[in-house]
Amino acid sequence: MSFERMWRDLAPVGRDARSGGYFRQPWTTPETELRAWFAEECAARGLELETDGLGNQVAWWRSGEGRAVLTGSHLDSVLDGGAYDGPLGVASALAAVDELRERGVTPARPLGIGVFVEEEGSRFGRACLGSRLAVGATTWEEARELRDRDGVALGDVADGADLDWRLAERVGCFVELHVEQGRDLVDRNAAIGVASGIWPHGRYRFDVTGQANHAGTTRMEDREDPMLTFAMTALAANKQARLAGQRATFGRLDVAPNGTNAVPSRVTAWLDARCDTAEALEELVGEITRLGTERAGRDGTALTVTAESVSGTVDFDPDLARRLAADHEGGDWPIIPTAAGHDAGILSAAGIPTAMIFVRNPTGVSHSPEEHAETADCLAGVHALADSLERLLA
């Protein structure tokens, strides 16, 4: 019940009336409102809230002793994203605390609920920025210089001066519940799954420069058109990824000066690439870069490629995954890989034993207004998380 009430409260925050999707970019009004909502929910439960200058939050149920069990997720969204990616893990964590208390559980060690900012990297371009800073995988000196699309620096909207979470010392394990972002659980007819690992992935900025010129008077053979170089590179990325059985996407483009009657002077495009191994990722990005550079040579343009956010392979703790997946009414939960990035991957790479619980998504669609999970499956997720936490807190 508490889950459904919270889900109703969250529904209007940052929702676009036309698309039905969410714009919950970090340090904007909707996202700030969500963080205030989380603080209120924690206060209502008597959880003790810690916040850093960035906006990362961890709420503690102080109980027992020793290293804590941490759960939680994120509240920010991609541009025009779904309702579930992130907030499902936060609302489920709060509802799981309610359920544990109803069951009369007294944790033998502390339980924390974490909310990490800018998980999507939708504003400053670095995936899982909040958790990276919280574990020291990125330094504030570097991060403060990151700029959003309007040129605003991270250091101008957030104060990361007190970022010493020492999570790796304080936390014994992390469990993130998340909506599934593919069709694996649908195909297996299972409401709940556990993650085995995350594919390595990265974001690469492709800057193509050419010569701005008149769209009517410049003969076709005289052009140095960066749009052509980009267009061929996008086709090559798709083809190379399909040939290799991997993933490559150009989903963001910036054209200068972006006029209809001029050959552009510059095209900047962002490649998102994901592969089943780090070697395959390097090879795929290398091949796309090679083909783009070759085409630039023919177009009279110049291409430079800059890695903006790279995340290595994540293998979640297999014992922890098996421990959470085993012995449930109706059978063991399936253990499945994912090509989506998560704060769980960052905490795992920082040496914290980590697991993820996935909730079935009937559309298989994510990072889109069509992302969905049925209420019954969300409630199954709350029970699954409560069961998992109870095992870990014993």
Q: Which of residues 25-44 bind ligand GLV (CB under 6 A)?
A: none
**Looking at 15-23, 86-94, 192-200, 290-298, which segment touches Mn ion (CB under 5 A)?**
86-94
The residue among 85 and 99 lying less far from Mn ion, judged by its C-beta, is 85
Question: Residue 337 CB, nearest distance to ligand GLV (Å)?
Answer: 13
CA distance 346 to 213: 46
- Does residue number 356 form part of the binding site for ligand GLV (CB under 6 A)? no
The residue among 76 and 287 lying less far from ligand GLV, judged by its C-beta, is 76
The residue among 143 and 392 lying less far from ligand GLV, judged by its C-beta, is 143
Contact with Mn ion (CB under 5 A): which of 85, 99, 118, 224?
A: 85
Pick left, alpha or beta for residue 100 (phi over 0 → left; psi -120 to 50 → alpha; otherwise beta). Answer: alpha
**Looking at 13-21, 77-85, 96-104, 276-284, which segment touches Mn ion (CB under 5 A)?**
77-85
CA distance 130 to 56: 6
Question: Residue 297 CB, nearest distance to ligand GLV (Å)?
Answer: 32
Q: Which of residues 89-148 bind ligand GLV (CB under 6 A)?
A: 120, 127
- Does residue number 340 form part of the binding site for ligand GLV (CB under 6 A)? yes
Phi, psi values for residue 373, rounded to 5°: -145, 135
Give the three-class secondary structure for 233: helix
Contact with ligand GLV (CB under 6 A): which of 341, 345, 353, 381?
A: 341
The residue among 31 and 85 lying less far from Mn ion, judged by its C-beta, is 85
Q: Strand 111-115 to strand 68-73: parallel, antiparallel, or no bridges (unpaired)?
A: parallel
User: DSSP readout, 138-176?
Assistant: S-HHHHTT-B-TT--BHHHH---TT----HHHHEEEEEE
CA distance 52 to 201: 28
Name the residue among 279, 250, 252, 276 with its Cα closest to residue 196.
276
Q: Which residues bind ligand GLV (CB under 6 A)?
A: 120, 127, 340-341
Q: Which residues bind Mn ion (CB under 5 A)?
A: 85-86
